[in-house]
Chain A
Amino acid sequence: MIGAEPAAAAAVQVVGGLLLAPLLPGLVQLFKARLQGRRGAGPGQPFRDLRRLWGKSAVTVEGTTAVYRLAPAVVAAAVATAVLVVPVASRTAGWGVGHDALALGGLLALARFAVAAASWDTGNGFALMGASRDLMIAVFVELTLVLALAGPALAAGGTDLTAIIAAGAGATAWTTPVRALGAVAFALVAIAETGRQPVDNPDTHLELTMIHEGPLLEYAGRDLAYLQWAAAARHWLVLVLAAQVFLPHPAAVWAQLALLPVVLAALCGALALTETLAAKMRILRVPRFLAAGAVAAGLGVTASLAGLA
């Protein structure tokens, strides 16, 4: 018999991650519009976009194989599985896929692999340009992510995300610089992984500057709906990790669940603010940007190893 708390947490995880995730990019767009003095579309705009795409027919590119056709489904499945892996509270019922932080990395890599393979299948230069840039950035994202997670994981005794959330709860856990430096590193990962400025520009439709949007160029209809939903679900994954692992949070499960929407909205606001203030950086500077985060996180863990903190 599962208790009320784990059941509620598991329900929030699925309802939030699978169904409500498109609200997050919608909120970012809304906040961004307000910051720029526009009225903007409501936060539900991504849902309307998805419904429109669902009714449209897909496009087959000449000379493509099943790889092109299956890639959107594989991407959406991998990201959906990742949503099932990442818990929203320190006690939660499982979905049979574990709660391991490193499994998350593997699933996101699977999604990237599928997108890049589909780009090769179409042979589209813009798609491949985006895919090759995305993979280059991914190398540094993975490196920084692992080092950022190392601090909280060491505090929790392993990579079990529920244990990590539990170990970071309350105020006392946040007296060491390890967590602050890990949070800085993860903030950079979050910007890169959600495809936001200054790393990528989700609003651009100029082929030469696209990273995440490039490989989506050939897709239409339900295929595109899957890929856009996956991009929204990635916002959910990254922001939930930011809220429950890299930011202070309460120890009680109910409090964690109650605070989550507020923190997520605030984080969307933070993303919108960064997008408004920061210009897109040169693509070749992105690795340095991420590596700075990796160094910060690594120094944090080293300091704690040396007994300095």
Chain B
Amino acid sequence: MIGTLLIAAVVVVAVGAVASATRRGFGTGLWTQAAGSAGIAGAGLWALLAGERAGQGFGPGLVAVAGGPDPAGSPLRFGVDGLSGLFLFALGLVAAAALVFSRGYLTAPGPDGRDRPDGRARAVAALTGVFVLVLVLVLCARDPVGFLTGWEAMSLVPAVVILVQRRADARSRRTVFTYLAITHLAGVGTWTAVLLAARTGVLGGSMAPPGRGVQVVIAVTALFGMGAKAGAMPLHVWLPRAHPIAPAPVSALMSGVMVKVAVYGMVRLLVVLLGPLPTWFGVLVLAVGGFSAVGGVTYALLQHELKRLLALSSIENVGIVLLGLGACLVLRAQGADAWAAVALGACLLHTLNHAVFKALLFLGAGAVERATGTLRLDHLGGLLRRMPRTGVAVAVAAAAIAGLPPLNGFASEWVTFQVLLRLPARHDLLGGVAGLLALAALAATAGLAVTCFVKVVGLVLLGPARSAGAAAAREVPASMTGPTALLAATCVVLGVVPGLLLRPLVALAPWLPDGAGAGSAGVTAAPLGAALHLPGSGGLPTPGLAAVLVALTAVLALARGRRSAAPAPSWACGQVVGPELNWTGAGFTKPLRLVLESVLRPRRHISVREEAGIVHEVTYRGHVPQLIDERVYRPAARRSAVAAAYARRLQSGSLGTYVGYLIGLVVLLLVLARTGVLA
């Protein structure tokens, strides 16, 4: 049944993609694609919940969708299980919202007021559908060929979209090159891991762990290859470049889903298919996660461009997801199976939560760009009044991503905190110290994220308009506010009743006994099962917390009354408040920048134009360089260019030299054969 629904949904998306490429069928095509995506989300959620009811963990494929009479023997195999289901749900939800949003975003009203999709808009609309289909392929593939085909296509499709949308200008070509170069370098890791796994029978569903050595090689290569695709530091450099220049709906899919599909690959391979891994590997994942979380959010909060900030914040959230995954691996290695299952649940819950609010923020950024013509944070402002619907949705997403109760980001960060606290409780020095450092990293990340997203809310939504474009902004059409409202509502629902989802996610752990589900993992649920209760914790009764918070706020707001003195300008020591007094994002983050100066090494250039002792003009420019770019990638790129230049000398173009190479090779081979090196 799930399979049939999924196939139908996929066909609908495909039909919609074809239709949206045509001039006539553009709008209908997008709606069709969105309907198909909603079907994918439904099938995914069904698979997730059904997987829990049946008490089944992972098989090679719970539902054989295709593959002929003997699914096991055919080279291409597909399947849907609970884990695929979760990611299909996230994909479908985000894609449906992004596709409906595309309807308004891609078409600019012409002089007669009618929407006219131009060729590029139609191509982007069709390619968005292709992107969705490719992601479904990765999530459902159960054999190396299908998986790797989907994996590579998943990298290529966004590159094509960016090139189409940007008319292949020089800067975006360069960015796309960086993106593809890093993806392909990292692809070595993914291919090695998947092919090794297939060769040793791990991919076929045999749960028996292979030899320790092979297992570790698969794990490390998978972390390298899939970690790069997920944007984990230090392999993240492509992400803050590529995500901002894609069209907003595609950015939403990239940050919201594509990065998560890399997490899916890691969970599938490291947690589900490989047996328990050594403790140090889990600690390595924790280190990568902590580094990504703190580094991502630190650089995010120093950005001046909205979409770039959001892209860097995706790195932060992938870091938090990896902290959950690392905790899961360490706990598994130490034999704490029940808590390892909860850690898996934390990792997956944050994955879904981040998909929802990051997609919402990217769509919101698209709406802001449409309305104001800019994404520079210091040129926005006051949009909550001019674009109330988009503004409220973006504010909800910002509060959720900052980890504030009672929204979903808080729930998943809370569970992650709880599982990290289990690591020092195991009395193992390596895992314990790693857990302690991870706790500190997560706490710092939470604090920095609050600063980062208060800055976003303040600069984009509040205060005076900081440019003419922002002052003239109008609310975007309903096709763009509807999807953001849907995602904002999802943030609230997932924040109030996270327990309903955490239980099936915990039950996905394949090492839990069949049918035991979440009960044996110690996730004792309250009667409704909506709250979060973990043994040892004081409990996070999210519905109660939300109700108390909302009720108290309402009572206090009513008690305050509306009595107010006449409006007065804000206090600036008696000066007239003009635009020159506007606070900037750089000013807001200055305390943190100064504190972290020795790490971040910000640069500033001040030039003073002085005439006859009177200062006429002071210009200030400052920026914070990305240290990993400057210290690692740039020297590496320079050295490889030099090495390539040397290598080119071998290729002189003269026939004589090439004949010389051949003779030399033959002689060498003969000598080797003669001396017995080559038998």
Contact assessment for A117 and B457 in the assembled complex, using a CB-CB cutoff below 8 Å:
yes
Given contacts A98-B538, A135-B450, contact A60 B439 (CB under 8 A): no
Given contacts A100-B539, A128-B587, A136-B591, contact A110 B564 (CB under 8 A): no
Contact assessment for A60 and B421 in the assembled complex, using a CB-CB cutoff below 8 Å:
no
The secondary structure that dominates the A interface is helix
For the complex, what is the distance from the CA of A161 to the CA of B573, rounded to whole Å?
A: 45
How far does the Cβ of A101 sit from chain B's closest Cβ, in whole Å? 7
For the complex, what is the distance from the CA of A76 to the CA of B428, rounded to whole Å?
A: 42
How far does the Cβ of B180 sit from chain A's closest Cβ, in whole Å? 36
Contact assessment for A100 and B537 in the assembled complex, using a CB-CB cutoff below 8 Å:
yes
Chain A residues near B428: list those with CB within 8 A: 305
Stretch at the interface among A38-46, A147-155, A257-265: A147-155
Interface string of A124-154 (1 = CB under 8 A from B): 1111100111011011111101110010011
B373 within 8 A of A: no
Contact assessment for A113 and B563 in the assembled complex, using a CB-CB cutoff below 8 Å:
no
How far does the Cβ of A230 sit from chain B's closest Cβ, in whole Å? 10
Contact assessment for B404 and A76 in the assembled complex, using a CB-CB cutoff below 8 Å:
no
For the complex, what is the distance from the CA of A67 to the CA of B444, rounded to whole Å?
A: 26
Given contacts A125-B581, A157-B536, contact A113 B399 (CB under 8 A): yes
B582 within 8 A of A: yes
B515 within 8 A of A: no
Contact among B410, B553, B572, B589 with A125 in the assembled complex (CB-CB below 8 Å): B572
Contact assessment for A70 and B459 in the assembled complex, using a CB-CB cutoff below 8 Å:
no
Given contacts A124-B572, A158-B536, A284-B594, contact A113 B588 (CB under 8 A): no
Chain B residues near A81: list those with CB within 8 A: 545, 548-549, 552
Which of under 10, 10 to 19, 20 to 34, or 35 or more describes the interface residues of B? 35 or more
Contact assessment for A139 and B410 in the assembled complex, using a CB-CB cutoff below 8 Å:
no
For the complex, what is the distance from the CA of A141 to the CA of B444, rounded to whole Å?
A: 9
Contact assessment for B425 and A102 in the assembled complex, using a CB-CB cutoff below 8 Å:
no
Contact assessment for A159 and B537 in the assembled complex, using a CB-CB cutoff below 8 Å:
yes
The secondary structure that dominates the B interface is helix
B561 within 8 A of A: yes
For the complex, what is the distance from the CA of A100 to the CA of B415, rounded to whole Å?
A: 12
Given contacts A95-B548, A97-B548, A124-B571, contact A136 B553 (CB under 8 A): no
Chain A residues near B557: list those with CB within 8 A: 69-70, 73
The residues of B with any CB-CB pair to A shorter than 8 Å are 382, 384-385, 399, 402-405, 410, 414, 417-418, 421, 424-425, 427-429, 432-433, 436-437, 439-440, 442-444, 446-448, 450-451, 453-454, 457-459, 462-464, 534-541, 544-545, 547-549, 552-553, 556-557, 559-561, 563-573, 577, 581-583, 587-592, 594-595
The residues of A with any CB-CB pair to B shorter than 8 Å are 57-63, 65, 67, 69-70, 72-74, 76-78, 80-81, 84-85, 95-103, 105-107, 109-110, 112-113, 116-117, 119-128, 131-133, 135-136, 138-143, 145-147, 150, 153-154, 156-163, 207, 217-218, 220-223, 226, 283-284, 287, 294, 298, 301-302, 305-306
Given contacts A81-B545, A117-B457, A139-B592, 14 further A-B contacts (CB under 8 A): A61-B569, A62-B567, A77-B556, A81-B552, A84-B548, A110-B404, A121-B458, A139-B448, A154-B421, A159-B417, A160-B539, A163-B538, A302-B432, A305-B428
Ordered by A's residue number, 29 sampled pairs between the chains whose C-beta atoms are within 8 Å are: A58-B565, A65-B384, A69-B557, A81-B552, A84-B548, A98-B544, A100-B539, A106-B410, A116-B450, A116-B458, A117-B462, A119-B458, A123-B577, A123-B582, A124-B571, A131-B454, A132-B588, A132-B591, A135-B451, A135-B591, A136-B591, A138-B450, A139-B448, A140-B444, A146-B439, A150-B421, A158-B538, A222-B559, A298-B436
